[in-house]
Amino acid sequence: MTTESPATLRARYVEQAASDLEKNRRLQQELAEKIAVLKQEEALLSDILNLAEQYKGFADTPRLPEQARDEPVAAKAKRTPGKATSRRSAAAKAAPARGTAKKGAKGKTRQPLLGDLLAALLAQYDEPRLAKDLREELLEKHPDRNPTPQVVRNTLESLVAKGRIRRQKEEGSVMYTLVKPDDREDDTAPAGDAG
């Protein structure tokens, strides 16, 4: 049996304790970062639920099967966790502010809906437009609005589902055009003449 001096034994214990303490602090930091990400995701999901409840029954039946067929590559929407949470948190913080702002509250007027802005941009063109081009034009004309490309695409798809705009594919790209009032009448005219 080897005997170690008390000083050597104490130095080993101090070294082991310092190592364990450092490891513990690293784990605490990692857990704190994960908790922050989960809180941001919780806020985003809560905002989505609130918006869904506000607009419940607003549109006719959703056309999710059609959207799934027209946009098969959902994997492109995935982002790295760090980037996604920062965009999500910004959107989550901005969404309630826009959604709850009412005319006259604190002297501010409610901002126009993104769908209305995109429809107004589409109204300026007779030819189909890409979502990317519409987003760039929106950022130019409305610098206070900064929706992500995915939000613009989702909003355009929502307008398609409501029948306000038309979607078409050209050379692998999805393009959008505004449905003119006379186009809507043409769509409903045969049904009206049958009665």
What is the residue type of 121? L
List, for residues 22-65, the tens digit of each pLDDT value: 999 999 999 999 999 999 999 999 888 888 888 776 555 455 55
pLDDT > 90 fraction of the chain, expressed in percent and rounded: 45
List, for residues 135-178, the tens digit of each pLDDT value: 999 999 999 989 999 999 999 999 999 999 999 988 888 999 99
Q: How far is CA 158 from the centre of its chain?
A: 13
pLDDT the model gives residue 176 = 93
As a whole number of angstroms, the distance between CA 195 and CA 186 comes to: 16
Task: Indicate if the pLDDT at residue 4 is higher than 50.
Answer: yes
Per-residue pLDDT band for 191 (boundaries 50, 70, 90) equals very low
Specify whether the CB–CB gap between 165 and 120 falls below 8 A: no
Question: Is 83 a domain residue?
Answer: no
User: Is 113 or 97 the better-scoring residue by pLDDT?
Assistant: 113
pLDDT > 70 fraction of the chain, expressed in percent and rounded: 65
Question: Domain check: are 14 and 67 in the same one?
Answer: no
pLDDT the model gives residue 133 = 93
pLDDT the model gives residue 19 = 95
Question: Domain check: are 116 and 53 in the same one?
Answer: no
Specify whether the CB–CB gap between 99 and 51 falls below 8 A: yes
What is the residue type of 167? R
Question: Domain check: are 23 and 45 in the same one?
Answer: yes
Question: Domain check: are 44 and 67 in the same one?
Answer: no
Question: Is 107 a domain residue?
Answer: no
Number of helices (H), then strands (E), belonging to the chain: the values are 7, 3
As a whole number of angstroms, the distance between CA 88 and CA 46 comes to: 12
Question: Domain check: are 129 and 143 in the same one?
Answer: yes
Q: Decide: residue 131, CB within 10 A, 0-12 exposed, 13-18 middle, 19+ buried.
A: buried
Question: Is 160 a domain residue?
Answer: yes
Question: Domain check: are 67 and 146 in the same one?
Answer: yes
Q: What pTM value is reported for the model?
A: 0.42
The mean pLDDT value of the chain amounts to: 76
Report CA torsion sign: 142, 144, 148, 151. Answer: negative
User: Is 129 or 84 the better-scoring residue by pLDDT?
Assistant: 129
Which CATH number covers residue 160?
A: 1.10.10.10
Question: Is 144 a domain residue?
Answer: yes
Question: Domain check: are 38 and 123 in the same one?
Answer: no
pLDDT the model gives residue 24 = 96
Question: Is 136 a domain residue?
Answer: yes
Question: Domain check: are 135 and 184 in the same one?
Answer: yes
Task: Indicate if the pLDDT at residue 68 is higher than 90.
Answer: no
pLDDT the model gives residue 185 = 54
Question: Domain check: are 20 and 44 in the same one?
Answer: yes
Question: Domain check: are 140 and 183 in the same one?
Answer: yes
User: Is 49 or 189 the better-scoring residue by pLDDT?
Assistant: 49
Instruction: Read off the pLDDT of each residue in 83-104 and give the average, rounded to a whole number.
Output: 47
Please count the CA atoms within 13 angstroms of the CA of 163 that sit on its side-chain side.
10
Domain span at 47: 10-58
Question: Is 86 a domain residue?
Answer: no
How many domains, the chain? Answer: 2
What is the residue type of 117? L
Question: Domain check: are 67 and 31 in the same one?
Answer: no
pLDDT the model gives residue 139 = 93
Phi/psi region, residue 181 (left: phi>0; alpha: psi -120 to 50; beta: rest), is alpha
Strand partners, 178: 165
Question: Is 150 a domain residue?
Answer: yes
Question: Is 133 a domain residue?
Answer: yes
Q: What is the dihedral of CA 142, 145, 150, 152, to 10 degrees?
A: -40
